[in-house]
């Protein structure tokens, strides 16, 4: 089999054409898919009208799946391997806990000591326009820094915090943020990570980083802001416009992403994500 790919943008991403993930995929064919995943950072599978069980089964080809114990409010009640991202109201009429998921720049599960290898997000329903997701190539972000800046940040560890989600409703948001702080203590992650499979260095930063270990927030802020701003320059970013039955797979070890709220929130936006566990990284710190 020769995999048919279509590039999505200059910095990263490719669409895998003429593949139905619900059908059996041979080891050799899956090897081509995995190689493309490492090469492009993002893979798009369009028109995948599959069940939740098939979504989970395909995702397991990439590794062990997280059961999302660190995000108990967001996981599917019947499928702990699935994390819900939806503005659909809860059964009691209250707002969805995950309606503002991902509205800041981040890499999935960076606030744990086993950050995600990859994520597979399936779109069930999308608004008429908007609700896009931005992705940044963190290889390019690191490689385009000056040698002096690379040397400066090489030994730094950024303290990653859970519970940093942008929530427009403080009344419902505050208890959730406090819960996240209890479940997920602050974790320090290297600002520069070496990808365990490609060997390339990538910047590992985002809006969940509030300070560097051994430094104050005030001291850390200018450098954090610069690095995030640098990493999200337009030439490093791909903007994904969702369609129903899209599956988007991305490598959290060399990309970060941000969901946009640029849509009519009276229209349904509903997606579900599996999360592939990665290699251990970082360490728990006593206080943020």
- Mind spelling out the 3-state secondary structure of the chain? CCCEEEECCCCCCEEEECCCCCCCCCHHHHHHHHHHHHHHCEEEECCCCCCHHHHHHHHHHHCCECCCCCCCCCECCCCCCCEEEECCCCCCCCCCCCCCCCCCCECCCCCCCCCEEEEEEEEEECCCCCCCEEEEEHHHHHHCCCHHHHHHHCCCEEEECCCCCCCCCHHHHHHHHHHHHHHCCCEEEECEEECCCCCCEEECCCCCEEEECCCCHHHHHHHHHHHHHHHCCHHHEEEECCCCCCEEEEECCCEEEEECCCCCCCCCCEEEEEEEECCCCCEECCCC
Mean pLDDT of 255-264: 96
What pLDDT, on a 0 to 100 scale, did the predictor assign at position 14? Answer: 98
Tell me, yes or no, if the pTM score tops 0.95: no
**Confidence class for position 94, pLDDT limits 50, 70, 90:** confident
State the average pLDDT over residues 260-277.
96
pLDDT tens digits for 16-30? 999 999 999 999 999
Give residue 93's pLDDT. Answer: 84
- Domains and their CATH numbers in the chain: 4-284 (3.60.130.10)
- 40 pLDDT higher than 60: yes
> With bands split at pLDDT 50, 70 and 90, how would you rate the model's confidence at 182?
confident
Residue range 106-160, pLDDT digits in tens? 999 999 999 999 999 999 999 999 999 999 999 999 999 999 999 999 999 999 9
């Amino acid at each position: 089999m020769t995999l048919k790919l279509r590039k999505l943008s200059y910095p990263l991403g490719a669409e895998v054409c003429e593949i139905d993930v619900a059908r059996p995929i041979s080891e050799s064919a899956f090897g081509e898919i995995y190689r493309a995943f490492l090469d492009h950072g993002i893979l798009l599978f369009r028109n995948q009208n599959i069940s939740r069980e098939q979504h989970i089964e395909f995702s397991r080809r990439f590794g062990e799946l997280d059961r999302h114990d660190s995000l108990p409010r967001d996981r599917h009640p019947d499928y702990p391997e699935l994390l819900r991202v939806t503005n659909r109201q809860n059964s009691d009429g209250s707002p969805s806990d995950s309606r503002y998921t991902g509205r800041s720049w981040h890499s999935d599960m960076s606030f744990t000591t086993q950050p995600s290898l990859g994520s597979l997000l399936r779109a069930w329903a999308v608004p008429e326009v908007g609700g896009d997701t931005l992705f940044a190539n963190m290889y390019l972000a690191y490689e385009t820094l000056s040698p002096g800046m690379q040397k400066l940040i090489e030994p730094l560890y950024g303290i990653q915090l859970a519970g940093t989600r942008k929530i427009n409703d403080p009344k419902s948001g505050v208890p959730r943020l406090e819960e996240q702080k209890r479940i997920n203590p602050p974790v320090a992650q290297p600002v520069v990570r070496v990808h365990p499979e490609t060997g390339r260095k990538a910047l590992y930063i985002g809006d969940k980083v509030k300070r560097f270990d051994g430094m104050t927030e005030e001291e850390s802020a200018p450098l954090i802001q610069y690095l995030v701003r640098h990493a999200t320059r337009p030439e490093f970013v791909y903007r994904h416009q969702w369609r129903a039955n899209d599956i988007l797979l991305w490598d959290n070890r060399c990309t970060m992403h941000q969901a946009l709220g640029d849509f009519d929130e009276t229209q349904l936006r509903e997606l579900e994500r599996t999360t592939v566990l990665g290699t251990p990284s970082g360490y728990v710190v006593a206080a943020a």
